[in-house]
Amino acid sequence: MKKMELNKELLKKDAPIGVFDSGVGGLTVVREIIRQIPNEKIIYFGDTARVPYGSKSRDTVTRFSEQIVRFLRTFQVKTIVVACNTASAYALEALEQESDIPIIGVVRPGARTAAEVTRNGRIGVIATEATIGSQIYSEYIKKLKQNVTIYGKACPLLVPLVEEGLLEDPVTEEIARRYLSELIDIDIDTLILGCTHYPLVRSTLGRIMGPEVTLVNPAYETARELKELLAGLDLLNSQTPALGSNRYQFYVSDMAEKFLRFANSIIKYGILSARAINIEAY
Amino acid sequence: MKKMELNKELLKKDAPIGVFDSGVGGLTVVREIIRQIPNEKIIYFGDTARVPYGSKSRDTVTRFSEQIVRFLRTFQVKTIVVACNTASAYALEALEQESDIPIIGVVRPGARTAAEVTRNGRIGVIATEATIGSQIYSEYIKKLKQNVTIYGKACPLLVPLVEEGLLEDPVTEEIARRYLSELIDIDIDTLILGCTHYPLVRSTLGRIMGPEVTLVNPAYETARELKELLAGLDLLNSQTPALGSNRYQFYVSDMAEKFLRFANSIIKYGILSARAINIEAY
- The predicted model gives B8-22 an average pLDDT of 94
- A35 burial via Cβ count (<10 Å: 0-12, 13-18, 19+): exposed
B174 shares contact with chain A (CB less than 8 Å):
yes
Distance CA(A85)–CA(A25), nearest Å, equals 10
**Is residue B1 very low, low, confident or very high in pLDDT (cuts 50, 70, 90)?**
low
Q: How far is CA B36 from the centre of its chain?
A: 15
Average pLDDT, chain B: 93
Q: What is the mean pLDDT of residues A261-279?
A: 83
Residues A38-50 have pLDDT tens digits of 999 999 999 999 9
Closest residue, chain B, to A22 (C-alpha): B50
| Pairing mode of beta strands A275-276, A42-46 | unpaired
Question: Counting beta carbons within 10 angstroms of the beta carbon of residue A225, is it exposed (0 to 12), middle (13 to 18) or buried (19 or more)?
Answer: buried
Interface test with B, best of A22, A24, A50 (most B CBs within 10 A): A50
Residues of A (243-272) whose Cβ lies below 8 Å from B? 253-256, 258
Chain B hits for A160, CB-CB cut-off 8 Å, are 156-157, 160
Which residues from A are below 8 Å from B59, CB to CB?
Answer: 255
Please list the helix, strand and coil fractions of chain A in percent, rounded to the nearest 5, in that order: 45, 15, 40
Residue B9 predicted with pLDDT over 70: yes
Query: Which of A164, A253, A254 lies at the smallest CB-CB distance from B157?
Result: A164
Q: How many CB atoms lie within 10 A of CB A161?
A: 26
Strand partners, A80: A18, A103
Q: Which residues of A are catalytic?
A: 84, 195
The closest CB to that of B56, out of A59, A161, A256, belongs to A256
Nearest residue in A to B49, CA atom: A56
* Chain A residues within 8 A of B276 when measuring between CB atoms: 57
- What does pTM read for this prediction? 0.90
- Is there a contact between B157 and A160 if contact means CB atoms under 8 Å apart? yes
* pLDDT value of position B244: 63
User: Cβ of A256 and B280 within 8 Å?
Assistant: no
CB of B60 within 8 Å of a chain A CB? The answer is: yes
Per-residue pLDDT band at B222 (split at 50, 70, 90): very high
Residue B256 confidence (pLDDT): 65
Q: By the CB < 8 Å criterion, does A160 face chain B? A: yes
- Cβ contacts of B156 within 8 Å, gap of 6 or more: A160, A163, A164, B54, B55, B128, B129
Question: Are the beta carbons of A161 and B164 separated by less than 8 Å?
Answer: no
- Nearest chain A residue to B157 by CA distance is A160
> Distance of CA B227 to CAs A102, B32, B59, Å?
58, 11, 30
Nearest to B50 among A49, A59, A278 (CB): A49
Question: What is the CA angle B62-B68-B70, rounded to 5?
Answer: 105
Encode pLDDT of B32-73 as tens digits: 999 999 999 999 999 999 989 998 899 999 999 999 999 999
| ipTM higher than the 0.90 cut | no
CA angle in degrees (0–180, nearest 5) for A19-A71-A94 = 75
Query: What chain B residue is nearest to A282 in terms of C-alpha separation?
Result: B280
In 3D, which of B88, B43, B36 has the Cα closest to residue B194? B88
How is the beta sheet containing B103-105 ordered, strand by strand? B103-105, B79-82, B17-21, B42-46, B248-252, B275-276
Closest partner residue to B49 (CB to CB) among A60, A254, A255 is: A60
Is B60 in contact with A254 (Cβ distance < 8 A)? yes
pLDDT tens-digit map of A110-167: 999 999 999 999 999 999 999 999 999 999 999 999 999 999 999 999 999 998 889 9
Question: Are B110 and B84 spatial neighbours (Cβ–Cβ below 8 Å)?
Answer: no
Please give the average per-residue pLDDT across B119-132, as a whole number.
96
Q: Pick from A60, A160, A278: which is nearest to B160 by CB?
A: A160
H helix or E strand, kind and range, residue B159: helix B158-163
Give the closest-approach CA distance of B22 to chain A in angstroms.
11
Query: Which chain B residues contact residue A280 at CB under 8 A?
Result: 280
Q: State how far residue A267 is from chain B, nearest Cα, in angstroms.
A: 21
Residue A134's φ and ψ, nearest 5 degrees, are -75, -20
Residue of chain A whose alpha carbon sits nearest to that of B53: A49
Q: Taking CB atoms and an 8 Å cutoff, what residues of chain A touch B158?
A: none
